[in-house]
Amino acid sequence: MGIHTKTDIDIDTNSRDDLLNALEGCYTPATERITDDGFQKHKSGVYFDNIPTDPTTGLASLDYKEAEDLGYQKVDFLNVRVYENVRDRQHLQELMERPVQWEAFTIPEIIGQLFQLGNQVSTVLTWPPTSIEELAMLIAMIRPAKRHLIGCDSWNKVREEIWEKPTNGEAYFKKSHAFAYSMAIVVQLNALIEVLENEQPQSDQ
């Protein structure tokens, strides 16, 4: 019996549609689930493997969980504008190392522009993070399987359960994903603050 290695491959892009149009004919769109009503397309996943395909929809004939169990590798192309204000690799490194202005997570106008958090302003204002770990837990809390934790009364309570894998099949964030996205948000935040500071009119000396 062969050994299948399960890995997650996410590719961030400014325009998912443009990239997939350029790759047309080279991939098969993933299937989120198959019900009596038919096939539901996965929001971001595609396969470059020779996966069985439904001839009517053109989608993979296996849902993505079954496909993963059989060893097919899903690649997720994500529309992410996190890096639009990052000039180059050196600038990226500088933004990663720059101290985080955590008070920015109490400003709705800034929260509304952030990756993963832009539509969760009220939740962020309720749970403003003050560390990378808290930011990662916040990102995980907004997923369906963990939204009930928003009603907790402390980060310690959230920490007790946030990384446990749900048993009901609801969507959740793995710890590694949440921490990676936290760093992406830090980069985006620091770049945004830099842009805002540069737009400030210079006072006369």
pLDDT tens-place string over residues 77-101: 887 778 888 999 999 999 999 999 9
Stretch 21-43: mean pLDDT, rounded? 94
**pLDDT value of position 15:** 78
13 bridge partner residues: 79
CB 116, CB 181: distance < 8 Å: yes
Asked whether the predicted pLDDT for residue 44 surpasses 60, the reply is yes
Stretch 155-159: mean pLDDT, rounded? 97
Q: Which of 85, 86, 52, 84 is nearest to 67 (CA)?
A: 52
Q: What percent of the chain clears pLDDT 90, i.e. is strictly above it?
A: 79
Distance, CA of 71 to CA of 18 (rounded, Å): 28
What the block records as the tokens of 167 is: 């048993």
Asked whether the predicted pLDDT for residue 58 surpasses 80, the reply is yes
Average pLDDT of every residue of the chain:
91
Distance, CA of 147 to CA of 32 (rounded, Å): 21
**pLDDT value of position 118:** 93
Asked whether the predicted pLDDT for residue 205 surpasses 60, the reply is no
| Strand stretches in 4-158, DSSP E | 9-13, 28-35, 38-47, 74-79
Stretch 43-71: mean pLDDT, rounded? 94
Asked whether the predicted pLDDT for residue 194 surpasses 90, the reply is yes
Asked whether the predicted pLDDT for residue 143 surpasses 70, the reply is yes
pLDDT band at 4 (very low <50, low <70, confident <90, very high): low
Asked whether the predicted pLDDT for residue 112 surpasses 80, the reply is yes
**pLDDT value of position 1:** 44
